[in-house]
Structure 1
Amino acid sequence: MAKKSRTIPPVFSAACAALILFSAGCGDGSPISEARNYVYRSDVFYKRAAVIYRSIKGPQARLELGSLYFSRGEYEQASAELSGLDFPEAQRMLAMSYFRSGDFTGALEIFKKNPGGDGEYLYYYGRTCEKLNLFDDALSVYRKIKSGKFSALASERIESIVKSSGPGTAGGEMRALISSSGGQAEYPEAGALILFARESVEITPDNREVSDCHYAVKILNQRGKEDFSEAKIEYDSTYEKVELGFARVIKPDGSMVEVGGRHLRDVSKYLNFPLYSNARVLIISFPELGEGAVIEYKFRIVRSELLAGKEFVFHYPVQSSEPILNADFSLRFPSGREAGIKLLNEKFNDFGARLAPSVERDKDFTVYRWSFRSVPQIIPEPQMPPAAEINPSILISSFSSWRDIYDWWDSLSRDKIASDGPVRRKVKELLHKCRSEEERARAIYNYCAGQIRYVAVEYGRAGYEPHNAGDIFRNKYGDCKDQAVLLVTMLREAGLKAWPVLIPTQDTYNLNPDFPAVIFDHCIAAVELSGGLVFMDPTAETCSFGDLPTGDQARRVLIFRPEGYEIAETPLFPPGHNLLVQELKIFPQKQYAISALRKVTAGGVYGQGQRYWLQYTQPDMIKQSLTQRIQEIAVGAELEGYDISGLANLDLPVVLSYSFRGGDYFIPAGDLRILPGMAYADTSLTAREKRIYDIEFDMLDRRESVQEIVLPAGWKIRYLPGSFSEESPWLRVDVEYSVKGNSLVFRQRTEIKRRRISAAEYENFREFSRRLALKTKERVVLEKEKR
């Protein structure tokens, strides 16, 4: 009787045939060939065994298949097979598989159900607890390991976690530095004192970047403790690795507290957004920190890939929000490469820092060095310019041209700007009723701004390469470069000319046309319409088409056209663009009470802010806020209701209307009645006698206030302040009082004409503000009509 042969699954037929060839002597007979033969045969037998196990039903087959996967390091497959099996060995391997595949929560659940085991099992139980920041549980588990090779490993983990005050004290050099550094009396404005900041960067010949940082900070008061109780080291896990050398607290008596594992957290910055899981932060929490203590920590960041493969850009701000006693920075790069240097904000270097580097060269490397001593802190002033415009800084770039920067980022982004089926269908749907190019652009922008969730990742923090437009469309979230890529893709699909734009916002250094450097912190888009170029920021979800957030305005940008780059400047919108109009009509009631209607119409940046507040504030909180505001008009005022229009439509202004009632509006003064002040002048910016820094307004704007007060029956105006206009290079204020029938009408228009008031102009501006304030203090006075 013929024997029935086993059928070989098709997927393995070719592999088995190849195995026969190997077995038949195919190869050169060398030891390496023999080794390869065994590796290949083991792989084929492994796959064959897995197929047979899967064909067998029952828990024993699943256990052995799971064990096979586990032995081969296929932990996710092992978990799938072992899950639900009650065998002790299955539970052991399942817990270990979860741990090794990064599912620490799943591993902990199994470990807790089966808390006993050998040294290896307990060791990984403890490691799981550490990964989940359960350090006390980890210590308890590690201490159960009494012998074997895992006992030594457990002891190391215990030592790593339980670093604490010990007999060690700070070295003589550190003690001398701390004792000679001074304290709150010498630095009355400081919260902490930076004893030293030692930073060095090396660009290696194989195009890696190695950064070493060593800091020591003395805590002077509670504010300093709050600011420096944690150190956060951000990095991109795709290309960067952080190596913490040490971290410790040196107490005022010289004893040291080492930072152990329980005080370290390595976490994702954007936990809820898997696309940006590479953006991570190592958080060091300093224990036993108090006034007079010093934190000291040292770390290294190794980056495996440079910009464009071989380029680098650094910016070094000299000052800080706290005084710096000693700061050293060096940059070392291979000889034959060039690095340009640009000095910024030199006029604020009134403390004599030498901003030019000392240069050392040999046949292998060029080294730039800077050393700074006794650097004063930046003392904040109201409405001062951002630090990027006032802090003396050093900008370093190896890029030789803007074309090089264009070629680099264009290569990262060009193929991402591509439509797929879902994107094309959405564009077709959005354009159904659009007739003009502007209507098409507006409809697509409104969709991207309103429906694609913004993940606030600063440009470069999670890599420079955007994701595919189709992926962003499906996920419905993205960072700035992703949202810009999707917007440009959809605009091009609609037949429009559109491009991504890299922009340094107001909080960073502006683009210098003569100094190519990657200093951008944001990405937006531009579209060409018949009226010219329109810049769009889809991350600003409450910003209308044609408008921009204040941080995007008046900035030099890099436009990525298909044929090459263009350096352009975003607009600074005129005062009338950012318009806030408040209209109030007051009707007298019995005694001194009133009823009132108020309407607030907001456009431009005011519209962005009002739209955001109304969209993301609970109705009850809106009522509470409005109730608080109307107390300024009438004592004990009660809100009757409110209405919002234009909120959901970015093409319309946001209008908030509300009605209220209140008492004691007409203030009695004997036989007279005095009305609350109507004119207003903000003098908060002129409280200081002198300023170091300019005053910088967020925007140019115009605010209009219109009040109509119906006079109570039997009363007339005894004193009406005079109308006036005051104008300066910076502001224009027009105030008008008039009588219309039985109503008093008040109008005020305040317009910011210039965004910046220089420190040299401050005294004149201060005098203008005082003069204006005096004129706005006058009140309307009523008296009874004579019968």
Structure 2
Amino acid sequence: MAMVVFNHEYHSVDKDGNQVVYQDRAVRPNTTQAVQALGELTATFSASKESIEIISAEVYLPNGKKVVTDVSQALIKEPFTALNYSDLKIKTISFKGVEEGSVLRVVVKRTFRPDVDKGFFLFQGFFDVLVPTQETLVVLRFEPGTKVAKRERFATPAPTAIRERKTDKGELFYLYGTSEVKPTTPEPVSVPSQETGSSVTFASLATWDEIGRWWSGLYEPKVSTSGEVRQKAEELTKDLAKQDDKIKALYDFVKSMRYVSIHLNSGAYLPHPAEETLKNKYGDCKDKAVLLLSLLRCIGVDGAVALVRVPSLITSDLPSPRYFDHAVVALKTPASGYSFLDATAALVPYGLLPEVLQHRHALIPRDKGGELVLIPPQPVENNAVEETIEADIHDVHSVTLTSRSRTYSPNQWYHAIPSIPQHLMLEALKEGVSKQYKDFEILKLQLEPADRGGILRNTTTLEIRDFTRKMGQWYIFNPLFDADHLGNESSVGSSTRTSDIEFEAPRRLVATATIRLPKTVKVESLPKPMKLVHEKFGSYIYEVQESEGVIKVRREVNISVKRIAAKDFKEFRQFYKACLNQDEELIGLKEL
């Protein structure tokens, strides 16, 4: 645990977007772990655009003495770059005298020089803290003539000091201060904290049309529909008649190429020519998007390279290219919308979009301008797990359980499973089953890679010798056994909520269980059927039938939203808890 005594920042910005930042920060470590964490400063920077200077580093000991670290001893190191060609560097220095109860004060100067994004500026300041903070002060200065827009969103904690001033020279100054701020703990399964807490955003005055033209001017010259690019497009599609099959072939080709992050000089924004990426057989998101768009244009499919912000939604009324950290291909659809192809999602089947891109902003260059759109979540059928369970009960203690699953999902973890060595998957399965049962044996584990349609099929067979729990004269068990469950129980753990909920993506879970009983066992209780349909959130169906020693249970749940607004939480909680509770319904058996 540590405490921030003060954190003072001074930002100076000119009309071209050049920035100079001074940070004066004092922190008190109160535990051994905090001493270890604060004993060394590591700062990553882009050598072609940024510089970092450690101006001073001092430690004030509890006995009143001061220990000074020689900042000239700071080192510049190369970061780990397994799949990364970059000019990123790490400046690091170890501080002398840091101990529990001491105060470490460090003053750092950081300079940022824009490249192809000259003239664009973005500053986002967040007032939420992870550790207790006694004082925060942020000052921004804009040189005369700098056109800037701002947006303030104050929740808890809100700045206690706010100042705005324009000097006689035309300089703009903004000051924000907080005092005695306590850490805030995000609510479970929440939207990203960047969207909810107190913050200020400043951006250079621009429109999405201007940024769209700027981005189009960077990537369009790199697009090619001739030479080797056209030859490759023709080679990949020559035996295919349907346009959709051709698009899939080109997409699969580009996404199979090695992903390598390229961050050299202008590389953060400027893609490589399509021919170069094709020849190299590797690239980052913007390189692969440009190559895919080039190949698509060769077969008469036009589109654009869209910029996407992955971690969170953006401040849409303050346009800036500096929000974005990813690039995909956007194709116009007949329904006046867009479909998106992420050429870096190596394991995601064609037609599906990675969960992290759903409900995120994308900037699409079009008609000599730009359009900011919200990528919609995909429908539940594009994220579905269907399981068939065969349970042969031998007595009130033992059962042979075979589960067959059919999965169609953008979740890359599902698609990575078949490539994991069998012995490791057996160990993982054993560990997972052991959390529920103690006496069991794995008889079969079969994992199949996705077929041409992107569907995964897995089969497991278990012999379980303690599948029930005794309750009086009854033996009880869950008829869904180990079927995929809803999860995210913590999202509805509290009766009230202030922030929106965000799930990975809409999804469908279907489990059909056929349970065969021996003549030595009698059914004493069955779950009651249930059907819930909610126009906002989805549906839940639970059906039960018993006939001639066979019980059939079918559960289908459709969560049709990715986000649930806080104002709808009471309704959603009632719906979701009913689903969770029904999933835990039990069958009661009695031994004859």
Shorter-normalised TM range: 0.7 to 0.9
User: SS where residue 614 of structure 1 aligns?
Assistant: helix
Q: Give the C-alpha shift of residue 387 in structure 1.
A: 1.2
For normalisation by structure 1, the TM-score amounts to: 0.67
**Largest Rg, 1 or 2:** 1
Question: Which residue of the other structure, out of 323, 327, 348, is the alignment partner of 1:543?
Answer: 348
Q: Give the C-alpha shift of residue 639 in structure 1.
A: 1.7
Taking a change above 3 Å as real, the CA distance of residues 639 and 220 of structure 1, as seen in their structure-2 partners, is: same
- Structure 1 position 323 matched with structure 2 position 132: yes
Question: Which residue of the other structure, out of 360, 377, 383, is the alignment partner of 1:578?
Answer: 383
Amino acid at match of 2:110: I
Q: CA–CA distance in 2 between the matches of 1:326 and 1:650?
A: 58
User: SS where residue 605 of structure 1 aligns?
Assistant: coil
Any residues of structure 2 matched to 1:54-453 within 5 Å, and which? Answer: 191-204=1-14, 208-221=18-31, 224-225=34-35, 228-259=38-69, 264-269=74-79, 271-273=81-83, 276-286=85-95, 289-305=98-114, 308-344=117-153, 346=154, 349-353=155-159, 357-363=163-169, 365-418=171-224, 421-453=227-259
**Residue matched to 1:558:** 363
Any residues of structure 2 matched to 1:334-733 within 5 Å, and which? Answer: 334-344=143-153, 346=154, 349-353=155-159, 357-363=163-169, 365-418=171-224, 421-455=227-261, 463-505=268-310, 507-510=311-314, 512-513=316-317, 515-516=319-320, 518-528=322-332, 533-561=338-366, 563-589=368-394, 592-606=397-411, 608-615=412-419, 617-631=420-434, 634-647=437-450, 649=451, 651-666=453-468, 672-676=474-478, 678=480, 683-688=489-494, 690-727=496-533, 730=537, 732-733=539-540
Taking a change above 3 Å as real, the CA distance of residues 632 and 336 of structure 1, as seen in their structure-2 partners, is: closer
Q: Give the C-alpha shift of residue 499 in structure 1.
A: 1.1
Taking a change above 3 Å as real, the CA distance of residues 689 and 559 of structure 1, as seen in their structure-2 partners, is: closer
**Residue matched to 1:26:** none
Identity of counterpart residues, as a percentage?
22
Mark the runs of 5 or more structure 2 residues left unpaired by the alignment: none
**Residue matched to 1:751:** 558
Amino acid at match of 1:291: E
Taking a change above 3 Å as real, the CA distance of residues 764 and 652 of structure 1, as seen in their structure-2 partners, is: closer
Q: Give the C-alpha shift of residue 610 in structure 1.
A: 0.4
Q: Give the C-alpha shift of residue 681 in structure 1.
A: 6.9
Amino acid at match of 1:568: V
Greater relative contact order structure (CA < 8 Å, 6+ sep): 2
Q: CA–CA distance in 2 between the matches of 1:444 and 1:681?
A: 35
Q: Deviations over 1:501-537 (max 9, x none)?
A: 01122x2342515645632122111124556631111
Q: Give the C-alpha shift of residue 325 in structure 1.
A: 2.2
Q: CA–CA distance in 1 between the matches of 2:491 and 2:427?
A: 29
Paired residues in the alignment total 586
Answer yes or no: is the 8 Å Cα contact 1:454–1:539 preserved in 2. Answer: no
**Residue matched to 2:541:** 734
Answer yes or no: is the 8 Å Cα contact 2:163–2:174 preserved in 1. Answer: yes
Taking a change above 3 Å as real, the CA distance of residues 485 and 710 of structure 1, as seen in their structure-2 partners, is: same
Taking a change above 3 Å as real, the CA distance of residues 306 and 354 of structure 1, as seen in their structure-2 partners, is: farther
Q: CA–CA distance in 2 between the matches of 1:328 and 1:462?
A: 34
Answer yes or no: is the 8 Å Cα contact 1:268–1:281 preserved in 2. Answer: yes
Answer yes or no: is the 8 Å Cα contact 1:358–1:370 preserved in 2. Answer: no
Q: CA–CA distance in 2 between the matches of 1:769 and 1:310?
A: 48
Answer yes or no: is the 8 Å Cα contact 1:270–1:279 preserved in 2. Answer: no
Answer yes or no: is the 8 Å Cα contact 1:593–1:662 preserved in 2. Answer: yes
Amino acid at match of 2:239: K
Taking a change above 3 Å as real, the CA distance of residues 674 and 229 of structure 1, as seen in their structure-2 partners, is: same
Amino acid at match of 2:460: Y
Q: Give the C-alpha shift of residue 315 in structure 1.
A: 1.4
Taking a change above 3 Å as real, the CA distance of residues 666 and 687 of structure 1, as seen in their structure-2 partners, is: closer
User: SS where residue 518 of structure 1 aligns?
Assistant: helix
For normalisation by structure 2, the TM-score amounts to: 0.88
Amino acid at match of 1:213: Q
Q: CA–CA distance in 2 between the matches of 1:372 and 1:324?
A: 9
Report the aligned-residue RMSD: 3.3
Q: CA–CA distance in 2 between the matches of 1:634 and 1:713?
A: 24
**Please, which moves more after superposition, 199-208 or 565-574?**
199-208
Taking a change above 3 Å as real, the CA distance of residues 627 and 448 of structure 1, as seen in their structure-2 partners, is: same
Taking a change above 3 Å as real, the CA distance of residues 494 and 226 of structure 1, as seen in their structure-2 partners, is: farther
Taking a change above 3 Å as real, the CA distance of residues 650 and 640 of structure 1, as seen in their structure-2 partners, is: same
Answer yes or no: is the 8 Å Cα contact 1:694–1:757 preserved in 2. Answer: yes
Q: CA–CA distance in 1 between the matches of 2:346 and 2:282?
A: 12
Q: CA–CA distance in 1 between the matches of 2:159 and 2:409?
A: 42
Amino acid at match of 1:638: E
Q: Give the C-alpha shift of residue 493 in structure 1.
A: 2.8
Q: CA–CA distance in 2 between the matches of 1:305 and 1:515?
A: 17
Q: Deviations over 1:683-714 (max 9, x none)?
A: 43343454443332222222122221111244
User: SS where residue 381 of structure 2 aligns?
Assistant: helix
Q: CA–CA distance in 2 between the matches of 1:731 and 1:401?
A: 37
Q: Deviations over 1:9-39 (max 9, x none)?
A: xxxxxxxxxxxxxxxxxxxxxxxxxxxxxxx
Amino acid at match of 1:510: I
Q: Give the C-alpha shift of residue 559 in structure 1.
A: 0.9
Q: CA–CA distance in 1 between the matches of 2:580 and 2:218?
A: 55
User: SS where residue 135 of structure 2 aligns?
Assistant: strand
Q: Give the C-alpha shift of residue 547 in structure 1.
A: 1.8
Q: CA–CA distance in 1 between the matches of 2:62 and 2:406?
A: 58
